[in-house]
Amino acid sequence: FLQRLPDSRGRTAPSQWPFSQNDPRDPAQRAAGIYHWTPKVRDFRDPAQLFDFQMSGLDDLNSENPVVLRALRKSYGHWIRDAGVDAFRIDTLLYVPPASLADFLFSKDKTAPGIATVARQTGRTAFHLFGEAFAIDKPFEETQARRIESLVTQADGTALMPGMINFPLYGSLVDVFARGRPTAELGYRITSMMRVHKHPELMPTFVDNHDVERFLSGGDAAGLQQALLAMMTLPGIPTIYYGTEQAFTVPRAAMFAAGSDSGGRDHFDMDAPLYRFIQRATTLRREHRLFSRGRPTVLRDNGAGPGVIAYRMDDGVHSALVVFNTSGGEALLDNVDTGMVAGSVLQAAFDIGDEKLPDLIVGQAGRVTLSLPARSGRVWVRTDAKRAIEKESAQITLQPPGATEVSDDFELTGIARGVRELRVVVDGDLAAASRVTVGADGRWQTLVDSSRMVDPKIEHSVVAWQGEGGAVSAPFRFKVSRQWRVLADVADPAGDDRGRAQNYSYPTDEGWAGHSADIRHMKVEGAGGALRVTFTMAEINRNWNPPNGFDHVAFTVFVQLPGNNDGVRAMPQQNADLPGDMRWNFRLRSHGWSNALHASAGPSATAEGTAATPAAGIDVDAAARTVSFTLSAAALGGLHALAGARI
């Protein structure tokens, strides 16, 4: 059975030959082989399926067929020659055989030459081509980045085309600035980007587009401004998707009143805060070419959570220092080695809050120490000026415990000269720093709280700081190993995935045959105030190639904090209320392409509430059929224990 649905103009098939030959019931059309007569891709690891099967049920052109290739070259050559097009986006390059792409670009057919030849013939010596491939890496991995780089390079190492859309960078920008993930994830991505890609400066970068959730659907305006500033100060071709400047939360909502999801009103407003912010950020990039021509060097990031990230941009002549604080409180950037000469004068070039900042003077050994406001982003550009550096009279040293791995709170001691009071700062979290009085003999001591530290792989850092413009100690680095305790362990019957009234059924498509939404088991674990929820499913489905490692199911987890009855009963967008007297304070929502956390400020039956960070960590074990979500104590309002919490 073949059903042909008409488009908006009533057409049920392409009108241009040979693409019009897509009816497999006609022996002649089938024999012509203009299309692959194949099913949908089921295994995205199988190159044969990627190149020859259907993507999302769309008819798959037989791009190995010379007739098809010649028609494509003629059509796109026309767009260059007669319409004056200066660049092409190829969507999606993952599904194009390399030989077919090379033919499309470089064919020597005189009547239908490759488009690279057509571009040169029309005087376009830098005709830009970039490919699209939805490929997002997990934190601290670069498998997908290397995969997309391989798509633009021929087997002999020569370039096929300039670059790809930088999806791996997009993933890290959203994770760090919208979801509050550790800034070390972005630091790694920046370094990896420069190592893996031959021409990162030619790769389009973005934070919103039509294929993903809007940044503001799970993040907030402060995080969006930070992500945009990062995009404007890193290599690439910044791409602004319409509606970002108007704070859109729906991916394809119309800008004007007559369109879909417009709410019946026009939205275009040149005085909108984000419109004005983007105007300022693009001006920064335009006036300082080192941001589009330079190379970044990551100077500092935070592996423990949201906080500081700093990088230097260099183009061989000019340098700039870019710093962010992604946390919701003041943060300390301590002892950062700028790689610049002591006494160098850096002139403030940009502040997210549009505050007039003083010059920054590089200290002894090329280091600087800065306190940064919550959710801030600042840029300084090096000048030719130099200033003398006064020798610091105060001095602070740490006398750390012998062990660098601890399992509980620990005592930290030290000696301070010329200091009466200092602040002990853990992981740069200046907002939570403890104030310590220095004794008459210069000695001091304090207890370091490790209750919120649960990941034994993370290296934490603690320093003692005199205060603005004062002395700071060298850091003590340590790890914390805590045990997770099982708080609940609940089996769930097989086959009960039919809704509360037992009247739901799955779609008939074979992709749903394994009952992907059937929960078989749930385990809840705690470590201090951190929470881990693990679902065992009937199957883990990845048929749609999801970056989060699972699809065909969406999870929503509601958490009521211990002793807190100020939450909300309504389950947003689910047409129901929580059972009994339960009220949620935090709500986790995740599917294959989404991971959002909301607090119970401002939700309703339709509105999700206020975006909260950090979002959950996601771990998928397909063999064990499990999906785990881990929420840190910080994500749950700084809990020290979970006793009395409800899920």
Which part of the chain has CATH 2.60.40.10?
Answer: 395-480
Residues 30 and 12: their CA atoms lie apart, in Å, by: 17
At 87 the three-state DSSP class reads: strand
Residue-level pLDDT at 338: 98
Q: Which fold has domain 395-480?
A: Immunoglobulin-like (2.60.40)
Alpha-carbon distances, residue 385 vs 244, 341, 342, 392, 456 (angstroms): 39, 11, 11, 21, 45
Over residues 331-388, the pLDDT tens digits come to 999 999 999 999 999 999 999 999 999 999 999 999 999 999 999 999 999 999 999 9
Residues 636 and 584: their CA atoms lie apart, in Å, by: 11
- What's the CATH number of domain 485-631, 2.60.40.1190, 2.170.190.11, 3.30.479.30, 1.10.3720.10? 2.60.40.1190
Candidates 490, 534, 487; CA nearest to 631 is 534
Over residues 374-424, the pLDDT tens digits come to 999 999 999 999 999 988 889 999 998 888 999 889 999 999 999 999 999
Packed helices 143-150 and 167-177: angle between N→C axes, nearest 10 degrees: 150
Over residues 214-245, the pLDDT tens digits come to 999 999 999 999 999 999 999 999 999 999 99
The rounded mean pLDDT for the chain is 94
Over residues 72-93, the pLDDT tens digits come to 999 999 999 999 999 999 988 9
Residue-level pLDDT at 92: 84
Which part of the chain has CATH 2.60.40.1190?
Answer: 485-631
Which part of the chain has CATH 2.60.40.1180?
Answer: 297-386
Residues 487 and 484: their CA atoms lie apart, in Å, by: 9
For 545-555, give one letter per residue: b (16+ CB within 10 A) or e.
Answer: bbbbebbbbeb
Class of domain 297-386: mainly beta
Residues 289 and 393: their CA atoms lie apart, in Å, by: 40
Whether the predicted pLDDT of 305 surpasses 50: yes
Residues 46 and 41: their CA atoms lie apart, in Å, by: 9
- Do residues 332 and 463 make contact, with C-beta atoms less than 8 angstroms apart? yes
Residue-level pLDDT at 3: 52
Over residues 439-470, the pLDDT tens digits come to 999 999 999 998 888 889 999 999 999 998 88
Whether the predicted pLDDT of 1 surpasses 70: no
Candidates 302, 325, 335, 309; CA nearest to 466 is 335
| Residue 544, CB-side half-sphere exposure with 13 Å CA sphere | 16
